[in-house]
Amino acid sequence: MKPPEAPQGTQQGAGDTPPAVSVCLETITKRADFLSASRARKQGTKGFMLQARNRCDDSPAIRVGFTCSKKVGNAVARNHAKRRLREVARAVLPELGHAGWDYVLVGRAVETETRDFQDLLNDLRFAIKKVHGG
């Protein structure tokens, strides 16, 4: 089956779809960066665990990573939990995150997927303030 054609006369640019995280956030992809963050500052909340580390470089970027173990559930549950964490990071980190820091959000078994979204936002705000000594 052939996919439908785009309507003629409408321009579809690169800005039509939102980015996976945010323009000012970069995604952590290397295992070594995740391991470095796991040895740094941690702050647990009811919805997830936040791990944060200062990269000590001059980069203005805020990097963020997401992880959920098999304790969270099957692949569908893990992906749903990570999608929720991505949205929380996209909403909070640009305003409260510090440049030159890595943040890793680790999903919790039931809470990340079922917790109210506003509570997850408040959890991340609280965790960032605690990590940075606020």
Neighbouring-strand partners of residue 52:
41, 103
Cα 29 from chain centre: 12
Q: Please compute the mean of the pLDDT values over residues 23-29 and round it to a whole number.
A: 84
Q: Please compute the mean of the pLDDT values over residues 22-50 and round it to a whole number.
A: 90
Domain spans, the chain: 31-131
Per-residue pLDDT at 59 = 85
pLDDT band at 58, cuts 50/70/90? confident
- 22 has a pLDDT exceeding 80: no
Contact 55, 100 (CB under 8 A): yes
- 31 has a pLDDT exceeding 80: yes
What SS3 state is found at 37? helix
Contact 66, 50 (CB under 8 A): no
Neighbouring-strand partners of residue 42:
51
Residue 61 tokens, joined: 């970027």
Question: Domain spanning 31-131 has what CATH number?
Answer: 3.30.230.10
User: What's the distance, Cα to Cα, between the start and end of the chain in Å?
Assistant: 56
What SS3 state is found at 47? coil
